[in-house]
Chains A and B, each alone.
Chain A
Amino acid sequence: MIWIAIRMLTGDRQKFYGLLFGIAFSTLLITQQLTIFVNLIERGASGVYNVSSADVWVMDPVSRTTDVAYAMPSTALDKVRGVKGVEWAVPHLRANASVRTKDGDLEGVAVIGVDDATLIGLPKSMVEGSTDVLSQPDAVIIDDVGTTRMFPGESPIGERLELNDQRAVVRGIADAIPSFTSTVVLYTKYSQALRYVPGTRNRLSFVLVGAADGVEAKSLSDSIEEQTGLKAQTRDEFARDGVQFIIENTGIPLNFGITVLLGFIVGVAIVGLTFSLFIRDNIKQFGALKAIGVTNGKIARMVAAQAAMVGLIGYGLGVLGTVGFIYGFSNNPTFKGFYIPWQIPLISFAAMVLIIALTGWIALRGVMKTEPAAVFR
């Protein structure tokens, strides 16, 4: 009987494709929007992810994220270095600046000063040039998204910039995860950064700490807080702070939430309507089956098989569409580093099951209510 059910379904091309489209469209909308949402808010932590070697970030107690930070006196560095369990501690400067290109355009940029000696604070890999270039006078490394923003279609290497009225020369391109706002980032040595960023008394934004072998990041951050009175966050905690900041301070969750809900509603509407139409078109056949001697239980299984088939194929198409989308846009800087967290297909699967269960149940009720005696009318 299941075979018959499936043939009934696929035999009605229009409605079959309509149902597939409804499910696929819903799945695509839900999966794709959730993916973009998660990846976007994770951009709030890009500053942390880009410095993967730091186990603990130390900052002024009022600082909240890599971009919302209050500078500390330079003595903080020595205080942190004095804490037991600290393998290394380096200064890290993050500040906003404005840059004038040779065409005279003004652009807001983020300047990141990395430790002069170890260069800790730079992203892991370079797109062009090596990290050694920072030892050249006035050298800065630009991030790859900044390159496409400021130098579309041309190589930035050797370009001269006026960075807060100081001379800077682009010597390399870093492979970095863009920030939430896709701000252009210029990396330079800490000592150099101090020159670029006009002199307030305190300019040390963070102290980056590596834990000694066998020391837990969490316990290290606790002892740093205890002994220095500064705020210390493990890498994971600080990444979460960045994400949390985006969630709390933008309308993004609401916006995406609305789209996901719309995807769900559209799915229910399209699938519910088409499924009901399909059942109504076949109600005579179902009635005949009931008269001939097919139990309600078997009828229910037939409808369930039809729903499951539409659901699974439609879901597959929707997820495939999302993968295609992410893949297709992987070269676009806006979508750089986007991935589909495994939880998201699971969530959209649950949404699909809900849509199918809801609409299938409504459709099934129509069949169940049909009196077998109706076939003679």
Chain B
Amino acid sequence: MSKSNTAQPAICTRGVTRDFPAGQDTITVLHGIDLDVKAGELTYLVGESGSGKTTLISIMCGILWPTEGEVQVFGTDIYHLSDTELVNFRLENIGFIFQQYNLIPAIDAASNAAVPLIAQGMPRHEARERSIEMFDKLNILDQADKLPNQLSGGQQQRVAIARALVHEPRLVVCDEPTAALDASSGRRVMDLLRDVAVAEDRACIIVTHDNRIFDLADRILVLEDGRITHDGTQMPEDH
């Protein structure tokens, strides 16, 4: 995989901290994170449970306010936007893949994947057609008309990937995309994600502690107690 030569990083965090109230006190979950995530790379964020991975990725994709620090996504200072501007920024620029898929049970797979386009205001049928094109790319065309509960976990996660990519966002974020899947479907989902989500002008960042898929990463960041302790193409030896 060629390294991106764009000057501007996809995500740039400077001095990001995040506190949470814990009873009387506050706990600091992130301690001044300075990070550049490049486009064209599959970036993993790994670390032990409670190390702050979800908190960091939530801040990077504009759904959780940092206590301090700046976050730029493709040059936009996202936490300086108004609430509505931020929501619309996410709608245009970010694709989400959740551990629990969060598909809408009452509408078929293709319509589920079309949701970001529908939310952008595209007519439903047109959006669904675009979503079916994405299904074709993901080799799940035969599942377009099925309801989520007629699909296996791996198949649902593919639909969720289609939903994350259908509107061609510049940043794709995934929190534990394979945690609910068995080893082989997890691996297949990640292979697929690698194929479709990584592109010259797109950044893809994945939170995981699934060591079965570490070999697929271009870059691995390790978070320990709210600090980045490792940044490289491989996992550090001691993990």
Contacts and interface: CB of A to CB of B under 8 A. Distances in A.
Contacts of B104: 4, 7-8, 282, 285
Interface residues of A, number: 28
Contact of A8 (B58, B90, B106, B116): B106
Contacts of B54: 376-377
Question: Chain A interface mostly helix, strand, loop or mixed?
Answer: helix
Contacts of A8: 104, 106-107
A11 B124 CA distance: 18
User: Counting chain A CB atoms within 10 Å of each CB, which of B100, B104, B105 scores highest?
Assistant: B104
B116 A293 contact: yes
B193 interface: no
A10 B106 CA distance: 8
Interface string B81-107: 000100111111010101110111111
Interface string A276-289: 00000010110111
Interface string A335-377: 0000000000000000000000000000000000001110111
A269 interface: no
B137 to A, nearest CB: 20
Interface in A257-309: 282, 284-285, 287-295, 298
Interface residues of B, number: 31
B102 A288 contact: yes
Contacts of B91: 292-294
A285 B102 CA distance: 5
B106 A12 contact: yes
Given A1-B118, A294-B119, A11 B96 contact: no
Contact of A4 (B96, B100, B107, B163): B107
| Binding site secondary structure of chain B | helix
Given A284-B102, A288-B102, A375 B96 contact: yes
B178 to A, nearest CB: 15
Contacts of A293: 87-92, 94, 116, 119
Contacts of B183: none
B150 to A, nearest CB: 13
B84 A295 contact: yes
B63 interface: yes
A376 B96 CA distance: 10
A288 B98 contact: yes
A292 B62 CA distance: 10
A376 B175 contact: yes
A292 B94 CA distance: 7
B107 A7 contact: yes
A290 B91 CA distance: 9
A1 B119 CA distance: 6
B140 interface: no
B64 interface: yes
B96 A288 contact: yes
Contacts of B175: 376
A289 B96 contact: no
B57 interface: yes
Contact of B119 (A7, A292, A376, A377): A292
B98 A373 contact: no
A11 B115 contact: no
B105 A11 contact: yes
Contact of B106 (A1, A11, A284, A375): A11
A11 B102 contact: no
Contacts of B99: 376
Contacts of B102: 284-285, 287-288, 375
Contacts of A3: 118, 124
Contacts of A371: 63-64
Q: Which of A4, A289, A376 has the most CB of B within 10 A?
A: A376
Contacts of B115: 4, 289, 292
A254 B61 CA distance: 60
Q: Which of B57, B91, B94, B98 has the most A CB atoms < 10 Å from its CB?
A: B98
Interface string B119-130: 100001000000
Given A294-B91, A295-B88, 5 more contacts: A4-B118, A11-B106, A285-B104, A292-B96, A375-B98
| CB-CB nearest 5 A-B residue pairs | A11-B106, A293-B91, A288-B102, A293-B90, A373-B64
Interface of B: 54, 57-58, 63-64, 84, 87-92, 94, 96, 98-100, 102-107, 111, 115-116, 118-119, 124, 163, 175
29 contacts: A1-B118, A3-B118, A3-B124, A4-B104, A4-B111, A4-B115, A4-B118, A7-B104, A11-B105, A11-B106, A12-B106, A282-B104, A285-B102, A285-B105, A287-B102, A288-B102, A292-B90, A292-B115, A292-B119, A293-B88, A293-B89, A293-B90, A294-B91, A295-B84, A371-B63, A375-B96, A375-B98, A376-B57, A376-B99
